[in-house]
Amino acid sequence: MFSFVDIRLALLLSAAVLLARGQGEDDRSFGSCLLDGQSYNDKDVWKPEPCQICVCDSGTVLCDDVMCEDTSDCADPIIPEGECCPICPDSNGTPP
């Protein structure tokens, strides 16, 4: 399950890839990527680990660490199973 931060990071990575691709390159089909024996199509985005997000860019795998929002104002933040970033257990995200 992607969190809000993961979605923003995926969109940012995708936008950077599309911007780089659009600078002076033709529109031909690019190659797939291979990481740890797993094949990915061009422009695929995936999370090999909870705190890492990757994208396949024209045959090259680009990975980055997930950036978490500050939860220092939360009394008892939790990290949901399979996620990287802590959240406030309060339903609206504010400290209880």
Read off the CATH number of the domain in which 34 is found.
2.10.70.10
Distance CA 37, CA 86 (A): 30
Domains in the chain, number: 1
Which pTM was predicted? 0.56
Domain boundaries, position 8: 4-65
- Answer whether residue 26 is part of any domain: yes
**Higher local confidence (pLDDT), 23 or 66:** 66
pLDDT score of 70 more than 60: yes
Confidence of residue 18 (pLDDT cuts 50, 70, 90): low
Distance CA 18, CA 74 (A): 36
DSSP 87: B
Task: Please indicate, yes or no, if residue 52 is contained in any of the structural domains.
Answer: yes
Please check whether residue 29 lies inside any domain of the structure: yes
- Range in 1-5, 26-30, 64-68 the model is least confident about: 26-30
> Does some domain include residue 39?
yes
List of residues 6+ apart from 37 with CB closer than 8 A: none
| pLDDT tens per residue across span 32-61 | 999 999 999 999 999 999 999 999 999 999
